[in-house]
Amino acid sequence: MAQRPQKKLFSRKKVCRFCGDKELKINYKDVKTLRSFVSERGKIIPRRIVGTCATHQRQLCEAIKQARQIAFLPYSGSTQG
């Protein structure tokens, strides 16, 4: 049997957006920023996918939950079908 060539997998290390840019703050009123961390179904995207550090992911979850409570963000995404 002939050996197959090995595929090289390369994935860039994800860097926290908030650690990289000190000017960027997590605020429950900033819906535009928070929407990028929520799926279209309304779920909070986990940090292993988004790439945020643990500290900022906790702050992000609290801000999203506050924004949902005040009705800046919906609890669930648009349900069609």
Residue 37 within a domain: yes
pTM of the model: 0.79
Tally of domains in the chain: 1
Residue 34 within a domain: yes
Q: What is the pLDDT of residue 27?
A: 96
Say if residue 78's pLDDT is above 90: no
Q: In terms of residue numbers, what domain contains 54?
A: 24-69
Size (the chain), residues: 81
User: Residue 54: helix, strand or coil by DSSP?
Assistant: helix
Say if residue 14's pLDDT is above 90: no
* Mean pLDDT, range 20-27, rounded to an integer: 93
**Residue range 46-57, pLDDT digits in tens:** 999 999 999 999
Residue 53 within a domain: yes
Q: What is the CATH number of the domain that holds 52?
A: 4.10.640.10
Q: SS3 letters for 58-80?
A: HHHHHHHHHHHHCCCCCCCCCCC
To the nearest whole percent, how much of the chain has pLDDT over 90?
73
Q: What is the pLDDT of residue 70?
A: 96
Say if residue 81's pLDDT is above 70: no
